Chain A
């Protein structure tokens, strides 16, 4: 087994762990956290695909690598919005 396959399998396991957490945890903040665990797994599977595509003097296929980079930033933006929604919900509850 190559190390790319190993990290790909780890990514698959992380998707399972993250999804389980999202469905079982009840604290909204922990759900957001588990969503990020899941996201890390998806990126890692894609990273394994990029590593397998190494060639032409590059250590990995640069196209999936660039898409992962884009995905990381978008995942952060989504996380920030979700956290802002949770905080707003809590402050609305606080006033009641």
Chain B
């Protein structure tokens, strides 16, 4: 309990400091620390699958994305700053936000007892999927539609980011050109870490059926293993006109939908798996989705094609 209190205090202080930071760089650095503290909170809440995702995506990829944006904006003329609200307005906003937080806190304190839970039905139906990890069971079977829509959202986000390409840059190499790093920690890590990271990602993907882990965590690690050499200037991303690249990010949702439709034909319900076939089908979807999501997450961090670097 004391450890939890310290963790909560640290989380709130870091969040406040990040929100109030004068420099954007400081704010992002504190935000990454916030993500890591949140990861510990997820472990304390017995949500290890969420903790892994938070560390990889919430702290890791979001941090890289925001740091990259801070660096790019520093070299560009930013739009004229808006007028911040005056002292009276700020006070009013603070009161409103405090009221909202207090109301939410009251809701947390007034949650019904005993808590409603779907843990028992999940435990009862998990054997039908041959999976050991209940979260994977929910993601891939009981609430598979959510996961399908989510993979479509990631794909849609990539399409939207690409759609912001300035005139003349369409089909080109995405992202800003990265200066080549010949020495230093980044150059070393970009060479040494990917083989190890890829093995760890595949392990996390494989054990995800029975232990904490799975496609999102594995995909985030794989994306990071591509982003490292990209940031070190060692590899150039493929142009967004490349057909194989487009197919790679689309194939995951496409296979997921195809298997779902097959379920509608054979079993009479969209995304229903025939008895005995649940685990192999889930593993097929997980592996293909991992590839699609890994590439899509990396492309989201890399960003919009630039006119500066053509094909």
* Chain A residues in the interface with B (C-beta under 8 A): 3-21, 23-27, 29-30, 32-34, 36-37, 40, 43-45, 47-63, 65-70, 72-81, 83-94
Contact = CB atoms under 8 A, between A and B. Distances in A.
17 contacts: A7-B41, A12-B108, A25-B19, A26-B82, A47-B45, A56-B123, A58-B134, A62-B122, A63-B118, A63-B122, A72-B58, A73-B154, A76-B61, A83-B69, A84-B164, A93-B77, A94-B77
Contacts of A88: 164, 166, 304
A91 B135 contact: no
B77 A37 contact: no
Contacts of A86: 69, 73
Given A37-B34, A60-B46, A87-B304, A26 B57 contact: no
Given A33-B18, A33-B31, A80-B65, 16 more contacts: A10-B12, A12-B101, A12-B102, A13-B105, A23-B97, A50-B45, A54-B117, A56-B119, A58-B122, A59-B46, A60-B45, A63-B122, A72-B53, A73-B216, A73-B293, A94-B76
Contacts of B109: 5, 9
A85 B162 CA distance: 11
A26 to B, nearest CB: 4
A61 B66 contact: no
Contacts of B111: 8, 48-49, 52
A49 to B, nearest CB: 7
Nearest to A51: B45
Interface stretch (B189-197, B269-277, B279-287, B295-303): B295-303
Contact of A49 (B61, B98, B102, B115): B115
B80 to A, nearest CB: 8
Contacts of A32: 66
A55 B73 CA distance: 49
B88 interface: no
B50 interface: yes
B178 interface: no
Nearest to B69: A83
A69 B49 CA distance: 8
Contact of B45 (A7, A14, A20, A85): A7
Contacts of B138: 62-63, 65-66
A29 B104 CA distance: 26
Given A91-B166, A94-B77, A66 B150 contact: no
Interface of B: 1, 4-5, 8, 11-12, 15-16, 18-21, 24, 27-28, 31, 34-35, 38, 41-42, 44-47, 49-50, 53-54, 57-58, 61-62, 65-66, 69-70, 72-73, 76-79, 81-85, 90, 93-94, 97-98, 100-102, 104-105, 107-109, 111, 115-120, 122-124, 134-135, 137-139, 142-143, 146-147, 150, 153-154, 156-157, 160-161, 164, 166, 216, 293, 297, 300-301, 303-304
B78 A76 contact: no
B157 A44 contact: no
B166 to A, nearest CB: 7
Nearest to A3: B4
A45 B42 CA distance: 11
Given A37-B18, A65-B49, A85 B1 contact: no
A78 B84 contact: no
A53 to B, nearest CB: 3
B108 to A, nearest CB: 4
Given A19-B100, A40-B38, A90-B77, A72 B57 contact: yes
Contacts of A15: 100-101, 104
Contacts of B58: 36, 40, 72, 75-76
B170 to A, nearest CB: 14
Contact of B154 (A21, A77, A91): A77
